[in-house]
Structure 1
């Protein structure tokens, strides 16, 4: 009896699933904590996956 497999995730090809990154600005506040900004992948908008219809459109 075969085991059913789950469909593979539709990982964004631009960010490889790492959709959000925290980037330090280099400065610190008065408590010594670093200031960071969040950058999202512009293709998947921070989701890490792409819809199937967008993936099919990219192949055409």
Structure 2
């Protein structure tokens, strides 16, 4: 699964730590998500998309 998390983080001027704190996960989880090495739970995907004010499918792209 591809994500736009890194791109969106830069647009919002958020660090990995700040995003992790906002959604209640560790920074490493954000790292793995950005690298496409971790598929988030539906709740985590929803929480991340909410931070960026986007729909889940606008943040996470199935390949």
- When normalised by structure 2's length, the TM-score is 0.24
Q: Which has the higher strand share?
A: 1
Q: Which has the higher contact order (CA 8 A, sep 6+)?
A: 2
**For the pair shown, which has the larger CA radius of gyration, 1 or 2?**
1
TM score, norm. by length of structure 1: 0.25
Q: Which has the higher helix share?
A: 2
